[in-house]
Amino acid sequence: MLSGSHILILLLVVLLVFGASRLPNAARSLGRSMRIFKSEMDEMRTDNPEQNGQEAIEQQRAPQPNPAQEVNPAQQQNQNSN
């Protein structure tokens, strides 16, 4: 977990990297991005929850391999010699 001193150090590093003049613009841009992301997620949930859930289930299913065929070399040799 982050303690108070860790958060303070992290804020100082961010301030040094971005600078005081660019920090408000970066925070504003991050807020807009988060708002857009949240609205898109809400829109996906409200579009058609039953269809979205069914599609997710179908995508998770792995394709079933073909069953192995039984091989009997002695029987094949008898059929080839006839």
Report pLDDT digits (tens) over 25-48.
Answer: 888 999 999 999 999 999 888 876
Which of 76, 19, 36 is closest to 44 using CA atoms? 36
Say if 74 falls within a structural domain.
Answer: no
Q: Is 80 helix (H, G, I), strand (E, B) or coil?
A: helix
Domain that holds residue 35: 22-46
- Would you say residue 61 lies in a domain? no
Predicted pLDDT at 26: 84
Q: Look up the pTM and report it.
A: 0.42
29 domain residue, yes or no: yes
In SS3 terms, 11-78 reads as HHHHHHHHCCCCHHHHHHHHHHHHHHHHHHHHHHHHHCHHHHHHHHHHHHCCCCCCCCCCCCHHHHHH
Share of the chain above pLDDT 90, in %: 22
* Confidence check: pLDDT of 5 > 60: yes
The per-residue pLDDT for 74 is 73
Domain presence at residue 67? no
